Amino acid sequence: MTGFSPDWLALREPFDRGARSARLAELFASRLPPTPRIVDLGGGTGANIRALAALMPAGTRWRMVDDDPEVIAVARASLAEYRVEFDRRDLAADLEGAIGDAQAITASALADLVSRTWIDRLFAAAAERAAPLLIVLTVDGWHEFSPAHPDDDLVLNAFAQDQRRDKGFGPALGGNAAEYLAAAARHVGFAVEGEASDWQIPSDATPMLHALIEGIAGASSSARPALARRIHAWRDARAASIAAKRLTFAVGHRDVCAYPERRA
Ligand SMILES: C[S@@+](CC[C@H](N)C(=O)[O-])C[C@H]1O[C@@H](n2cnc3c(N)ncnc32)[C@H](O)[C@@H]1O
């Protein structure tokens, strides 16, 4: 779990797919105009469009925005069957330009990376366009290892600190993002619904478990270098449990759909 490499995005995609709320995707679809223009912010290799396309109205036109040419190249090759434009752009610097003439906005696995100010800008732009939003797979800070290890909380507290580090958008919301999305939606007068979209990672998902443990150990020791030795010992113990197929891991996420209320 180092950055957002195509390999990492491919590894997480089936877990995302299994966790997403179908009900909220359908609610989002029900709020769209015919042949809508939908923008996918921070689209990566295109997983969000792949997951949503079949649920959206016929003739949907997509625009996928990301600032990483490597993931855009993978997305371009794998989304050929859909009507998708690709827009390489820095979402921190030019969110309003990225949304452009879109009539609806979606993003997956992005909202925990951004700041309160950025979310406020997102909802201001959505309100100006009366555009519904579907923001999915936002981490909510809940984790559950089975079996537990005495240093789980120590490591996860350091990891939460890393999740709040500035990722280019200002101080990141991390595990508070899903709650803030709902508050920001209400602030602009949108209705909002949320649903859990937790990852449930079984003991035989060895590559995913290893990637997560390595990613958590790396990020938490960067956040708390003084704890690095204990964190490395925790990582080694967790790696041994994975090898013995004894570890399962659940990671809390939330999907949110927000939309302007229809007038009576
Ligand atoms: C966790 S990945 C999620 C990718 C994809 N939505 C998915 O669900 O697989 C976050 C994505 O946001 C993009 N991103 C991060 N910061 C960005 C920025 N400032 N401007 C544009 N894209 C950005 C990354 O390149 C990456 O593709």
Question: Tens digits of per-residue pLDDT, 66-78?
Answer: 999 999 999 999 9
Whole-number Å distance, alpha carbon 172 to ligand 1 midpoint, is 14
Q: Which of 108, 253, 71, 93 is nearest to 170 (CA)?
A: 93
Task: Give the closest residue (by CA) to ligand 1 atom 25.
Answer: 68
Please tell me the distance from the alpha carbon of residue 182 to that of residue 57, in angstroms, as a whole number: 25
Residue 263: its pLDDT value, please? 58
4: phi then psi, degrees, rounded to nearest 5? -125, 55
Is residue 240 packed enough to be buried (19+ CB in 10 Å), middle (13-18) or exposed (0-12)?
A: exposed
Residue 54: its pLDDT value, please? 96
**Best of 49, 52, 76, 110 for a ligand 1 pocket test (most atoms within 8 Å of beta carbon):** 110
Residue 261: its pLDDT value, please? 87
List the domain boundaries for the chain. Answer: 6-141+169-200+251-260
pLDDT tens string for the chain (264 positions)? 345 999 999 999 999 999 999 999 999 999 999 999 999 999 999 999 999 999 999 999 999 999 999 999 999 999 999 999 999 999 999 999 999 999 999 999 999 999 999 999 999 999 999 999 999 999 999 999 999 999 999 999 999 999 999 999 999 999 999 999 999 999 999 999 999 999 999 999 999 999 999 999 999 999 999 999 999 999 999 999 999 999 999 999 999 999 998 755
* Largest Cα span, the chain: 61
The architecture CATH gives domain 6-141+169-200+251-260: 3-Layer(aba) Sandwich (3.40)
Task: Give the closest residue (by CA) to ligand 1 atom 13.
Answer: 42
Whole-number Å distance, alpha carbon 59 to ligand 1 midpoint, is 25
Supply the pTM of this predicted model. Answer: 0.96
